[in-house]
């Protein structure tokens, strides 16, 4: 058994995310069982987006690199309305109730 495979099996036994998965996957401090559930939820979110089109609501923390997604939103808006992207920013309104 290779050293990587040994580390992987030990991590799985200890309910930890294996080191090789940590290098390639999303950042998380969750144990392996919760990490797998989260990973499946992320995959489902992206598959639904592909299948059903652009969602009305985005799960920002579900993205591997949410900063890039937010930058892409600003760039698309800037191109559409011919505005300099560095003149744009986000405004947030916090509400007590959620209605979609």
Chain segment 27-41, per-residue pLDDT in tens: 899 999 999 999 999
Task: Return the DSSP state at 16.
Answer: -
Can you tell me the distance from the alpha carbon of 41 to that of 69, in angstroms, rounded to the nearest whole number? Answer: 18
Here the tokens at position 25 are 């996957």
* CA–CA distance, 69 with 75 (Å, rounded to integer): 10
pLDDT at 100 (0 to 100): 63
Residues of the chain under the 70 pLDDT cut: 98-100
Residue 41 has a pLDDT of 95
Q: What per-residue confidence (pLDDT) applies to 94?
A: 82
pTM, two decimals, is: 0.74
Predicted local distance difference test score (pLDDT) of residue 10: 94
């Amino acid at each position: 058994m290779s050293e990587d495979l040994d580390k992987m099996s030990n991590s799985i036994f200890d309910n930890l995310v294996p080191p090789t998965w940590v290098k390639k996957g999303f950042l998380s401090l969750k144990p392996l069982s919760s990490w797998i559930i989260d990973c499946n939820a992320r995959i489902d979110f992206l598959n639904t987006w592909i299948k059903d089109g652009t969602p009305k609501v985005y799960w920002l923390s579900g993205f591997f690199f949410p900063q890039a997604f937010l930058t892409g939103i600003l760039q698309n808006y800037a191109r559409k309305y011919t505005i300099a992207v560095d003149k744009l920013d986000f405004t947030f309104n916090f509400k007590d109730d959620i209605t979609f």
